[in-house]
Structure 1
Amino acid sequence: MKTFHCNRCSQFVFFENVLCERCSALLGYVPGLSEISAFEDAGEGEWRSLHPRAEGALYRQCHNFAVEKVCNWMIPADSPDTLCAACQLTRTIPNLSAPDNRLYWFRLETAKRRLLYTLASLGLAVQSRQDDPEHGLAFEFLEDGGDGAQVMTGHDNGLITLNIAEADDAHRERVRSAMGEPYRTLLGHFRHESGHYFFDRLIEGTRWVEPYRALFGDERADYGEALDAYYQNGPPADWGSAYISAYATMHPWEDWSETWAHYLLIVDALDTAASYGLALLPDSPDEPTLTDATPVEDASFDNLMKRWFPLTNVLNSLNRSVGVADGYPFTLATPVIDKLRFVHRVIASPVIRDAARGEPATASDTPADTAQDAP
């Protein structure tokens, strides 16, 4: 994610900020600009953007910004909508009468908006169920029932369900430890489930299926049987030689979604590093350098990988210096890199980008439509 600044006083601000700490200007995200903007009060619930690219346009706060305090996205003043494009995707929110649920809702919406930002930067903007009833995306944030019924985080035909307990840091860490996972984050859940959604939108029913199966396996294998086998027997002992995670071994769908989520992690982190002007210039010629700041949306896959390994090296070294776990607890075997390359090719394809914006990909959409390492 790139860096942002207040348009009134140039103070450095973050994607989630709603108020400039230096000049007290209202801050809000403008999806049409992909920018955090400072605003001045224009009266009658309208706000004038101070961002130079907005040219003084008027906006309103999303209802969940102005009233519920769980959002910071803005809506054009002449729009009939009361919810922003991000909040329109949430079909069910937590029961706000329960303790901590508002905090969990805030955390869920924050992670969701970060996912949407990354998808949009890659040309993968999504539509709501209201705008596209057949292919639109929706979210439900649910909690376990008092009768012992458990909510399973997952995806079903464009509906992503998340158990709100995942927004409880202590609960999520207990689950991570119990499952033997090196990494478990709320944003990671959103990235993973979006992978299932985009498999349906971009791979299924297209000529990408065969190269997909060559790398990930045949997704027509019985999912229920694969799930039972995984939880009974666990992953293969050598899973790290071909998979990004143990869970990716469960079924080709999960391998795709784990790889998809990892690709989003990589491009988001590299985008952040480039926006900060991060460079690695060690004294020793034997240590990795990092000077390339090519925008991730314009970079080839090889360029991304060349920059990724030095970045993870310094990330883990910094974490160890302050006494916390590695920020990047993964290794990328050659088959995993091949799978990541495939995800890059799919996303980079102009045909695929068009499909993601509107109609689903068709059987005529073929990997030949894009170069091996198309930017």
Structure 2
Amino acid sequence: MRTFTCPHCENLLFFENSACVVCGTEVGYDRATRSMLRAADGVRCANAELAGCNWLADGGPLCGCCALTRTRPADEDAGALEAFAAAEAAKRRLVYQLDDLGLPVTPRTADPVHGLAFDLLSSTDQPVTTGHAGGVITIDLAEGDDGFREGLRARLAEPYRTLLGHFRHEIGHWYWDRLVADAPEAFRSLFGDERADYQQALENHYGSAPGSEWEETHVSHYAAAHPWEDWAETFAHLLHIRDTVQTAAALGVLVAGTPIAPHPGSRVDAVPEDRTDDVDELIATWIPLSRALNQLNRSMGKDDLYPFALAPAVQEKLRFAGAIVTANRTAGLRTARERT
């Protein structure tokens, strides 16, 4: 995540800001320009109060991110609405990063068959399963409750579990359908054959002890359940790593010896070139940075921020996912040039 500047006084702004803390100017994130504008220069998203959205509307009452949500809790469900606001905040960060990477974010209103939509549902009165099906991503809003989420994390032996992580994982499934499924041969050589029985694979996964044999070939225990989950976990980790490295660069955080230095334009709203497409360079930056972050967390009495090891086989899968992202962005840029 890059930092931004106030359009009035040029003070430092962060992605979540809705007003400048120095001069008080009300601001909103403009998705078209990827910058913070004066709120008076646009129309605030209708979810500004309901979900704390600080984006500007996009041709309707909602911003482009909030418009992706197909179902949300009822207005009278106060508890679920609080979790809904947390989920929307995570989704805004997701959509920002997808835009930054040049990946398609096609809404279901534009493509009713394959387009993207989110159902953010409360499991208070009915069971809800977080998952993806044909472009519809369902999130159980109970994941916004720290106690509930931590209980599941411990029960499922997952060292890392966050709302943002769920969004990144589930949208990985959508991108597999959109960007990988039509030519899966190279995918299968690294991740395995996705045609293996999915339900049986999950039963086997949850019916056995975690063990440690997966650590040399998968980024997480859950990734070992099935090739689809391996892809989604790998894709999510690529987004985790890219976001954290970019944020560190924007804030001038640098671990000695890492190749990605803070970019002098990292606070310029016009999207500086501080993103690397070289996954090897990204990993070379990430490994010492993540170790430093883990040690800082331990100094505060917290668990490791990134409790994973990137074995050589996992790094190869990250390279594959990175190549898919780069190839798609290149194709998108070529299409844009053809239109002009």
Equivalent residue, structure 2, for 1:230: 205
Query: Displacement, 1:9?
Result: 2.2
Question: Is the 8 Å Cα contact of residues 20 and 27 (structure 2) preserved in structure 1?
Answer: yes
CA distance in 2, matches of 1:351, 1:6: 29
Quote the sequence identity (%).
43
Query: Displacement, 1:218?
Result: 0.4
CA distance in 1, matches of 2:104, 2:30: 14
CA distance in 2, matches of 1:30, 1:189: 25
Equivalent residue, structure 1, for 2:267: none
| Alignment partner of 1:191 is 2:168 | yes
Residues 337-357 of structure 1 deviation map (CA, whole Å, 9 limit, x = unaligned): 0000000011111577439x9
CA distance in 2, matches of 1:243, 1:212: 14
Query: Displacement, 1:304?
Result: 0.8
Query: Displacement, 1:25?
Result: 1.2
Q: Which runs of 4+ in 1 moved over 6 A?
A: none
SS at structure 2 position matched to 1:63:
coil
Query: Displacement, 1:69?
Result: 4.5
Match of 2:237 among 220, 242, 262: 262
Equivalent residue, structure 1, for 2:116: 137
Equivalent residue, structure 2, for 1:337: 315
CA distance in 1, matches of 2:222, 2:260: 34
Change (3 A) 1:135 1:296: farther
User: Bigger relative contact order, structure 1 or 2, given CA contacts below 8 A and separation 6+?
Assistant: 2
Equivalent residue, structure 1, for 2:19: 19
Match of 1:74 among 31, 40, 56: 56
Question: Is the 8 Å Cα contact of residues 129 and 138 (structure 1) preserved in structure 2?
Answer: yes
Query: Displacement, 1:135?
Result: 2.1
Residues 224-256 of structure 1 deviation map (CA, whole Å, 9 limit, x = unaligned): 111111111244531111110000111100000
Match of 1:215 among 176, 190, 194: 190
Question: Is the 8 Å Cα contact of residues 102 and 328 (structure 2) preserved in structure 1?
Answer: no
CA distance in 2, matches of 1:225, 1:279: 45
TM normalised by structure 2 equals 0.90
Query: Displacement, 1:68?
Result: 2.5
**Match for 1:3: what amino acid?**
T
Q: How many residues align?
A: 327
CA distance in 2, matches of 1:95, 1:62: 18
Equivalent residue, structure 1, for 2:5: 5
Equivalent residue, structure 1, for 2:178: 201
Query: Displacement, 1:145?
Result: 5.4
Equivalent residue, structure 2, for 1:279: 254
Change (3 A) 1:75 1:3: same
Query: Displacement, 1:289?
Result: 4.5
Equivalent residue, structure 2, for 1:52: none
Change (3 A) 1:74 1:317: same
CA distance in 2, matches of 1:180, 1:267: 25
| Alignment partner of 1:312 is 2:290 | yes
| Alignment partner of 1:245 is 2:228 | no
Considering only CA atoms, is the larger Rg found in Structure 1 or Structure 2?
1
Change (3 A) 1:62 1:351: closer
**Match for 2:225: what amino acid?**
M
Residues 121-175 of structure 1 deviation map (CA, whole Å, 9 limit, x = unaligned): 11113021111212210000112253xx421000000000000100111111111
Deviates more, 1:216-225 or 1:292-301: 292-301
Query: Displacement, 1:302?
Result: 1.5
CA distance in 2, matches of 1:289, 1:352: 27
Return 5+ residue gaps in structure 1 as ranges: 40-46, 49-58, 282-287, 359-375
**Match for 1:104: what amino acid?**
A
SS at structure 1 position matched to 2:200:
helix
Equivalent residue, structure 1, for 2:93: 114
**Match for 2:144: what amino acid?**
A
Spell out the pairing of 1:156-195 with structure 2 (5 A cutoff). Answer: 156-195=133-172
CA distance in 2, matches of 1:75, 1:343: 32
| Alignment partner of 1:104 is 2:73 | no
Residues 42-73 of structure 1 deviation map (CA, whole Å, 9 limit, x = unaligned): xxxxx22xxxxxxxxxx1111112x5353111
Question: Is the 8 Å Cα contact of residues 130 and 136 (structure 1) preserved in structure 2?
Answer: yes
SS at structure 1 position matched to 2:324:
helix
SS at structure 2 position matched to 1:297:
coil
CA distance in 1, matches of 2:294, 2:300: 10
| Alignment partner of 1:60 is 2:43 | yes
Deviates more, 1:3-12 or 1:182-191: 3-12
CA distance in 1, matches of 2:83, 2:243: 23
Query: Displacement, 1:290?
Result: 5.4
CA distance in 2, matches of 1:218, 1:27: 48
Query: Displacement, 1:114?
Result: 0.4
Deviates more, 1:229-238 or 1:123-132: 229-238
CA distance in 2, matches of 1:23, 1:125: 36
Change (3 A) 1:127 1:318: same
Equivalent residue, structure 2, for 1:284: none
Equivalent residue, structure 2, for 1:151: 128
